[in-house]
Amino acid sequence: MTRVFVALIIASTSSTTRAEHVLDFFTGPIVGSGAVVAMGGAFIGLGEGADGHLFQPASLTARVWKSRRSPWDWDLASGSLSQVNKGAATMDQSGIIGRRFSQGGFNLKYLAYGCGAHLVQSDFVLKNKGGKEAKEALIRQRLAALGMGQTRRGGSLHWGVVATLATLSLNKHLPWTEAQNANEIKSPMFTAGQTLVSIDGTGLIAGALWTPLNRPYRIGAKVRTPTLANQPSGTVDTTDISFMPDAVNVPWQIGLGASYQFGPRPFNEQPKVDAPSRLTPAQRRHLLFAADLILTGATQNGLDTVAYLLNERQLSGQYPSISLRVGAESEVIPNRLIVRGGSYYEPCRRSQCVGKWHATGGMDLRFRAHWDLRFGVAVDVAKRYQNAGISLGIWY
């Protein structure tokens, strides 16, 4: 596994392309399930459940306390986040007036092995400042991921690798904002118009998680290779875009994370057949802290994707960027309600701009429907940015 990480780091830090016009595709805000968003994205050093496949692939095989008594285990998670602003007056710094994110993940574990799949769709609606003639555009990203992992050293070391196939389309957007303000909505917010640019690319995400047995802490690492897609297809319409990009690059990323838990709830327990299937309310008490440090690579000859769709040219990703993510959770009502809170720094990839801090929060509520399920809500708030969503998954 060490050799795999070294190879991925070398591949990630190498030059991605020598193309002249490369779109730097960097989403900025945390895009994940409700649990991940509420924790401020701090998941590399936690790595539990189907929520975390793309943040910490070791979650494909790392087991929660409840599943350590059986050779089989499975988990699923789903969720949706959305943001809709009314017009250009409330645009965030990137010109995005609407976002929608939907995702679902499933994993299956047997003994020391695990596998899983994850599907994601992200939509971003953009708008130039101006009146009714201001242009709108839509970015749609679809991502399919398959992964596998293994647990070693008696349950104290976990690793996972996820292969991703991403499809990115840059589209005209059917006018919506003014129709909404005039109560004349003719189409849903996230309806795509003519495709201007379409492109596919593949990548890898690898992660490792150290969970020392009977200790209250974990340490994790993650590497994401760049997803570079060349030879985009599409049609140049000079009234919308002035040139076709040579490539689109999702930059490489390296992250380190750690978590620490206070309280009696099992955290890094030895797998055993006589492990309890249920805990008493007193045994479920816990206070968990997590923190991640993320380094995102540069994009050679990078251009801002949003500016490109608004027919502007602005440099982006000239230098690597750093982000800090922190989060905490506690089960305030035993076996019923978990609350989370966090914060993270969103770096700005464009020239002559500064990043911003986000505040996040959320909760999971247990309910019974054949299985113990959790219904969650999450919010993410920053300057000129508000996002909220719901999620559904397995309670443990």
C-alpha 284/C-alpha 320 separation (Å) is 41
Maximum Cα interatomic distance, the chain, rounded to a whole number of Å: 68
Q: What is the pTM of this model?
A: 0.84
Can you give the pLDDT at residue 315? 86
pLDDT in tens, the chain (396 residues): 545 444 444 444 444 445 677 888 887 888 888 899 999 999 999 998 888 899 999 999 987 755 556 788 889 888 888 875 544 333 344 567 778 888 999 999 998 899 999 999 988 877 765 555 556 778 888 899 999 999 998 889 999 999 998 888 877 776 554 445 545 444 466 666 677 777 788 889 999 999 998 899 999 999 999 876 666 655 555 555 566 677 788 899 999 999 999 999 888 877 666 666 678 888 889 999 999 999 999 988 888 877 776 667 788 888 999 999 999 999 999 999 999 999 999 998 887 788 899 999 999 999 988 888 999 999 999 887 888 889 998 888
C-alpha 210/C-alpha 220 separation (Å) is 6
Q: Which DSSP string corresponds to 7-41?
A: HHHHHHHS-----SSEEE----S--S-HHHHHTTT
Q: Which residues pair with 256 in a beta bridge?
A: 221, 293
C-alpha 37/C-alpha 35 separation (Å) is 6
Can you give the pLDDT at residue 222? 97
Can you give the pLDDT at residue 57? 95
The answer to whether the CB of 305 falls within 8 A of the CB of 96 is no
Distances (CA, A) of 37 to 20, 42, 55, 74, 168: 35, 8, 11, 22, 23
C-alpha 54/C-alpha 300 separation (Å) is 25
Output the six-digit token pair for 218.
């974990």
Fold of 2-394: Porin (2.40.160)
| Distance linking the first and last C-alpha atoms of the chain | 29
Can you give the pLDDT at residue 243? 65
Can you give the pLDDT at residue 56? 95
Can you give the pLDDT at residue 16? 47
- With b for 16 or more beta-carbon neighbours within 10 A and e for fewer, the 109-140 pattern comes to beebebbbbbebbbbbbbbbeeeeeebbbbbb
Q: Phi and psi (nearest 5°) for 4? A: -65, -45
Q: What amino acid occupies position 123? A: D
Measured at the CA of 363, the angle between CA 269 and CA 356, to 5 degrees, comes to 105
Can you give the pLDDT at residue 90? 37
User: Which residues touch 331 (CB under 8 Å, ≥6 apart)?
Assistant: 265, 284, 285, 286, 337, 338
Can you give the pLDDT at residue 236? 54
C-alpha 104/C-alpha 121 separation (Å) is 10
Output the six-digit token pair for 190.
């996230």
Domain positions in the chain are: 2-394
C-alpha 312/C-alpha 173 separation (Å) is 17
Residue entry with tokens 């499975």 = 74
